Amino acid sequence: MSAPRPSGPFREGDRIQLTGPKGRMHTITLRADGELHTHHGVLRHRDLVGLPDGSVVENSSGHEYLALRPLLRDFVMSMPRGAAIVYPKDSAQIIAQADIFPGAVVVEAGVGSGALSLSLLRAIGPEGRLHSFERRDDFAEVATANVETFLGETPETWSVVVGDLVEALPNTLDAGSVDRVVLDMLAPWECIDAVADALTPGGVVLCYVATATQLSRTAEYIRATGLYTEPESSETMVRGWHVEGLAVRPDHRMVAHTGFLITARRLAPGAVPPDVKRRAAKKTSYGDEDVELWTPGAVGDREITDKNLRKRVREAQRAAQGARIAAEVRTAEPEAGASGGDDPSA
Ligand SMILES: C[S@@+](CC[C@H](N)C(=O)[O-])C[C@H]1O[C@@H](n2cnc3c(N)ncnc32)[C@H](O)[C@@H]1O
C-alpha cells in the first residue's frame, strides 16, 4: 500500500488547514458528516470535498476560509510532541549533509516525536528502509501516531524498535549493512562505536546536538575512534524577510539556535587517511593554527603579492595625477559666463 499523494482535489480523510477570519487557523480531517463550529458560524466538510487544494469556501455566516493541505513543515510544527523535534530547517540540512538517498538503508535514533522520521521516509522513497530506534515506548507511540497521521498509514519502509540503540542495533541489523545513521539524542558519543560496526565503509554518521559542549564531546569522540573521517560541524540559521512594497527588510525575529550538525564518514577497516591532522583533544591555549584562522587570507581576503601591490600603487598614482591635471585645467579655464564673450544673454 502507498500513501495517498498530497495533491489533487480534496478527498474524505484528507487533513486540511483552514485560515479563517483574522488569520485564525484550524486543522480538520475531512469527513462526510463533519462540521467546523466556531463563533463565526458553521463550515460543513462536504462543501470542501472535490474542491482543488487552495480553494476559498464560505461558512454558514458568509465568512471565508482558505483551505490548503498542510505541507510537511506545517504538519511537524503543529503535531503532538513527546520530545523536542528537529525543525524543518535542520531536517533539510540533515537530508543533504547525511546524503540520504532514494533506496538508502538508514538508521535513526531516537525517534522522539517522529518529525525527522517523516523527512527521512520521504528522502529514502519506496525502495529505501528506515530503522528508527527509541528507548522510550511512549515516545515511540507518539512518533508512530504522527507518521500515520501525516502519511495516512505506517509505511512498509519503516520499522520502529523500542530499546537503546547500543544494545538493539547489533541485534537488528547486520554489521556493515547500513548506509546512513542519524543520531538525535543527548549523548550520541555513547553510540558511535555501535554505529561504526553497523555502517558500511564510506557510510555517513550525522549527529544533531543542541549545545556546544555536546558538539565538542561528540566531535572529539568520533575523531578519537580513528574509524571515521575528520568530523565536520555546522549550524543552520534561516532568517525570514519581510517583503512588502518598499518595506523590504529582514524579519525582526528568527529561530536563531536549534542545534549543531556533526558529520563523518566510516573508513574502510584498517584505513588511515594520509592527510588527517589529528589535533590534541585537550587543547587549552591558542596555537599558531588558531591565530592563522583569523588572518585576512583565512577569512577570504587574498593576500596581495609585492608585485601586485606595486601595480596598484602605480594605478593609484596615475589616477591621482589625472585628477591633479584635471584640477589644473579647471583652474586655468575662465569660468563659464564670466568673460561675457559669446554669451548671447550678456
Ligand atoms: C530530541 S528527541 C528526538 C526527536 C526526533 N528526532 C524528532 O524529530 O521528533 C531524542 C530522543 O532520543 C531518545 N534516546 C536517547 N538516547 C537513546 C538511545 N541511546 N537509544 C535510543 N533512543 C535514545 C530519547 O528517548 C528521545 O526520545
At 274, is the pLDDT very low, low, confident or very high (cuts 50, 70, 90)? Answer: confident
Count other Cβ atoms within 10 Å, centred on residue 295: 10
Domain 15-70 fold: Vcp-like ATPase; Chain A, domain 2 (3.10.330)
Secondary-structure class of domain 75-274 per CATH: alpha beta
Nearest CA to ligand 1 atom 14: 110
pLDDT for 154-184, tens place per residue?
999 999 999 999 999 999 999 999 999 999 9
pLDDT at 341: 38
Q: Ligand 1: distance of its center to the CA of 114 in Å?
A: 10
| Segment 207-264, tens digit of pLDDT | 999 999 999 999 999 999 999 999 999 999 999 999 999 999 999 999 999 999 999 9
- Whether ligand 1 lies within 6 angstroms of the CB of 83 is answered as yes
- Residue of the CA atom closest to atom 16 of ligand 1: 185
Helix (H) or strand (E) holding 37, with range, is strand 35-38
Q: Which atom of ligand 1 is nearest to the CA of 86?
A: 8
**pTM exceeds 0.85:** no
pLDDT of residue 283: 59
Nearest Cα to Cα of residue 46 among 38, 36, 219: 36
Indicate whether residue 113 lines ligand 1 (CB < 6 A). yes
Regarding the beta carbon of 115 and ligand 1, being less than 6 Å apart is answered yes
Q: Read off the pLDDT of residues 315-325 as tens digits, 9 standing for 90 and up.
A: 677 666 666 66
CB distance 260 to 234 below 8 Å: yes
* Cell 498542510 belongs to residue: 70
Give me Rg for the CA atoms of the chain: 31
Q: Is the CB of 86 under 6 A from ligand 1?
A: yes
Taking the domains of the chain in order of start, what are their residue ranges? Answer: 15-70, 75-274
CA 189 to chain centre: 22
> Are the beta carbons of 222 and 264 closer than 8 angstroms?
yes
pLDDT by residue (tens digit) across 148-157? 999 989 999 9
Q: Report how far residue 184's alpha carbon sits from residue 200's, in angstroms, rounded to the nearest whole number.
A: 20
